[in-house]
Amino acid sequence: MSGEFELIRRYFSDLGYDQSGSVRLAVGDDCAVIAPPANRDLVLSIDTMVEGVHFLAGTSGDKVASRLFGAALSDLAAMAATPAFFTLALTLPSTDSIWLQAFSVRLAELARQYGVQLIGGDTTRGPLTLSIQVHGWTHPGKALLRSGARPGDRIFVTGTLGDSKGGLETQLKNIHGAQVPYLQHRFYTPEPRIDTALLIAEYATAAIDVSDGLLADLNHILEASNVGAMINPDELPISAELHQWVGAAQSREWALTGGEDFELCFTVPAILEPKLSWALRDHRVGVTCIGQISAKPGILFSEGGRVWPVEPQGYNHFINKHKV
Ligand code: ADP
Ligand code: MG
């Protein structure tokens, strides 16, 4: 790409903030150089978004930035890791300075907010595709895995579920109305639950972020931990906006299978529930108990005295062809 170096210098050379103080050298040389803090494990993950698959063609740069960044950092939250720095791989069809400016300004805002610096990346020409690789730290052996859930543990979720799917549907169906700005904000600006994760890490036995849908993601915890779950669907946290727009039945279905909410689903031993409540007493993000872990594999619903099994369905790229 002609002007590749100018593009990198202009939009990506000084982006974010190195809160962990570990970045010796960022963008500009052949590699970045990191001085890892003593006695920490490095936790890392990469996320890719493709125009037409993860976001609609023509989406503005700021919206793509917040969605990409939020989804990427959410994986660090799911491991209870403290974000440290990130890299960015960009494939661009053209050098659209309005799009790039909006993208880099929004990315810079979020990177400062979460205390991470952009330390390097790659830039090529092709269909619009973006990858962020995030890196974070945990104390040795303290990363929160999917495999630690035990029978009797309570199952919790943060925030509300189904809003992101609602936000996507309002766009696909070109809906207007009072709830639309909230729902679309939830779609474009997933909020990685880093601070919540660091608060609950001491008590949690397993965690995952909800990217494919609650049932599908909870099922990953269940399979990794070799346990089952009993869920009370009546307890699912659903926003007033989603409920007002589509009613109880549809919002419940989207809460269970919609995906891309980037909320956390985690388990805590019942005996630690009072301590968890105390730790969360002034926390701004809602945390709701939706059921408990059982010894027998599979997911059961329990509501109004009735119990029935459900299939853990969610979004799967190789089954559902297109996301948007
Ligand atoms: P090389 O050819 O040695 O791989 P590049 O020309 O790809 O180097 O990149 C030059 C510098 O710019 C490197 O430090 C690289 O990390 C950085 N860089 C390239 N693209 C991006 C990007 N999209 N965001 C951040 N840094 C980037
Ligand atoms: Mg390169």
User: What pLDDT is recorded for position 312?
Assistant: 83
- Taking ligand 2, which is a single-atom ion, which protein residues have CB atoms under 5 Å away? 122
Q: Whose CA is nearest to atom 20 of ligand 1?
A: 122
φ/ψ region of 52 (left if φ > 0, alpha if ψ in -120 to 50, else beta) reads left
Cα(292) to ligand 1 centroid in Å equals 47
In ligand 1, the atom with minimum distance to the C-alpha of 30 is: 3
Residue 324 has pLDDT above 70, yes or no: no
Q: Where are the alpha helices (DSSP H) in the chain?
A: 4-12, 61-78, 97-113, 163-172, 180-188, 194-200, 214-225, 240-257, 273-279
User: What pLDDT is recorded for position 317?
Assistant: 58
Tell me, using a 6 A CB cutoff, whether residue 122 lines ligand 1: yes
Cα(102) to ligand 1 centroid in Å equals 20
User: What pLDDT is recorded for position 323?
Assistant: 54
The rounded mean pLDDT for the chain is 95
In ligand 1, the atom with minimum distance to the C-alpha of 118 is: 25
Question: With bands split at pLDDT 50, 70 and 90, how would you rate the model's confidence at 1?
Answer: very low
Give the mutation target among 117, 122, 124 for probing the ligand 1 site: most ligand atoms within 8 A of CB: 122
Cα(101) to ligand 2 centroid in Å equals 21
Q: Whose CA is nearest to atom 16 of ligand 1?
A: 120
Secondary structure of residue 127 in the 3-state scheme: coil
pLDDT, tens digit, for every residue of 163-200? 999 999 999 999 999 999 999 999 999 999 999 999 99
Q: Which is nearest to 279 in space by CA: 204, 190, 193, 192?
A: 204
Tell me, using a 6 A CB cutoff, whether residue 19 lines ligand 1: no
Of all residues in the chain, the percent with pLDDT exceeding 70 is: 96
Q: Whose CA is nearest to atom 12 of ligand 1?
A: 28
User: What pLDDT is recorded for position 313?
Assistant: 76
Rounded average pLDDT over 15-41: 96
pLDDT, tens digit, for every residue of 112-171? 999 999 999 999 999 999 999 999 999 999 999 999 999 999 999 999 999 999 999 999
Residue 227 has pLDDT above 80, yes or no: yes
Instruction: For the chain, give percent helix, strand, coil, nearest 5.
Output: 35, 25, 40
User: What pLDDT is recorded for position 3?
Assistant: 83
User: What pLDDT is recorded for position 218?
Assistant: 98
Residue 319 has pLDDT above 80, yes or no: no
Tell me, using a 6 A CB cutoff, whether residue 31 lines ligand 1: no
Q: Which is nearest to 99 in space by CA: 46, 44, 140, 62?
A: 62
Query: For residue 239, how many other CB atoms are within 10 A of its CB?
Result: 20
User: What pLDDT is recorded for position 321?
Assistant: 43
Q: Quick one: tokens of 312?
A: 């853990």
Q: Whose CA is nearest to atom 19 of ligand 1?
A: 122
Contacting residues for 306 by C-beta, under 8 A, at least 6 apart:
none
Q: Which is nearest to 219 in space by CA: 289, 304, 315?
A: 315
* For the CA of 131, the nearest ligand: 1
pLDDT, tens digit, for every residue of 35-76? 999 999 999 999 999 999 999 999 999 999 999 999 999 999
Is there a contact between 79 and 136 (Cβ–Cβ < 8 Å)? yes
Residue 315 has pLDDT above 60, yes or no: no
Q: Quick one: tokens of 142?
A: 């303290």
Tell me, using a 6 A CB cutoff, whether residue 12 lines ligand 1: yes
Residue 223 host element (H or E): helix 214-225
Give the mutation target among 8, 25, 92 for probing the ligand 1 site: most ligand atoms within 8 A of CB: 8
Secondary structure of residue 64 in the 3-state scheme: helix
User: What pLDDT is recorded for position 311?
Assistant: 86
Tell me, using a 6 A CB cutoff, whether residue 120 lines ligand 1: yes
Tell me, using a 6 A CB cutoff, whether residue 88 lines ligand 1: yes
Question: With bands split at pLDDT 50, 70 and 90, how would you rate the model's confidence at 265?
Answer: very high
